Amino acid sequence: MTGAPGLARPAGSLAEAMRWEERVQHGAHPVVLPFLRRVAARGPVVRVPGIGVVVSDAALAREVLLDAATFTKTGPGSPADLWTPVLGPAVLLNMEGADHARLRGRLAGLFTPRAVAELTGPVLAAEGAALTRALVARETVDLVAMAGRVAGSVICRMTGLPATDDGVRAAFRDAQEIVGMVRLHRRRLTGAQVRRARAVLGRLTAHAAIAYREGDEATVPGRMRGLGLSEREALGAVGAFVLTGTETLVSFVPRLAALLADTGWDVRLAASDDPLLAGRVVGEALRITAPTPAMLRSVEAPGRIGDVAVRPGDRVVVATLLCCRAAGPFDPDTPPPAAVRQLWFGAGPHFCLGMPLATVQITAVLDALVAAVRERGPLRVVDREVARRVLIPAYASLRVACA
């Protein structure tokens, strides 16, 4: 195997990997993150004036997310305050109860293994093969740019946009612009931001409306029509999936690669014949990076979170990052506590419907990286730049090569 001697590289530095993750987190939220840590030091559940009830314990966070009757996504301070003015009233992330269950049930058909493969297959096959070829040829690749191309291509498939190079870049920029308006401390968008977000989203969904009306099941909006969604529901769902999935993928893929290179786990994966190891590595990287650093709920009925009483109208901030990080540093050999598992995707009726779509994209990139490491040798980070003041912590660039 070409480059096989490189697989003898000793394990990298876990401390260095965690330092870089800390820089990524701090770059995104230089004020909010230290503040949340100070709050968490006071206890697992703390009421903070002007912010809400902050939960930093995984078991209590899971209880909140599972109790949709008490803690909702539709009240004051919830995600509905942010997204309903932009996306409309029926897009899963701002719904509860029977209406939420009905719409989620209809959309579930889009996320079967077959549907996900049809949506992403051509994009992922081409990008994965190109990534492996480039690394085997000792080229340097910016994984942030690569992940952006994948995300933009999937946006084009979701919205019915033609997947030209210009179209992919424009779709990705549009999605980033809307997500970039949100801040963890902000309860709602300003009027100007709502108008801008609607205009940008209108560009993204204009083709989706055409695809829906034509009923072409080769497109996602056409499939939504076939599943019984109204045009308003379909366009709202397309917008929600574009906005909630784009930044997560582009944030996580480069951070996963950095963790692998910094710790030597790229070599362990390349040398292993354990079919389950890659899944454990991805899950552990998701725990460490926590692509959804916080989740919001609104209190619907009187109740308690741990020792803290809550009342209707209270805002609950589930500090997902702190809940996940409390289980220790990156260690794929050690299963996380049950309360932490997949907490970054939520829990209960709002568990991330798009998880299969995210997983298949992540797996495709990881497979391409591991294939290059097997062929050419260990992955190394040539240079990297942390993204500043963004909603989802990320690298602005992460250039890698094989040694």
> One digit per residue, pLDDT tens: the chain, 403 residues?
334 444 544 456 899 999 999 999 999 999 989 999 999 999 999 999 988 999 999 999 999 999 999 999 988 888 788 778 888 877 777 888 888 898 889 888 888 888 888 888 888 899 999 999 999 999 999 999 999 888 888 877 777 777 777 777 777 777 777 877 776 666 778 888 889 888 888 887 888 899 899 987 778 888 889 888 888 888 888 888 777 777 778 899 999 999 999 999 999 999 999 999 999 999 999 999 998 889 999 999 999 999 999 999 999 999 999 999 999 999 999 999 999 999 999 999 999 888 888 899 999 999 999 999 999 999 999 999 999 988 889 999 999 999 8
Phi-psi region of 348 (alpha: psi -120 to 50; beta: other; left: phi over 0): left
Q: What's the pTM? A: 0.90
CATH code for the domain in which residue 193 is found? 1.10.630.10
Domain assignment of residue 220, given as a range: 4-402
What's the domain count of the chain? 1
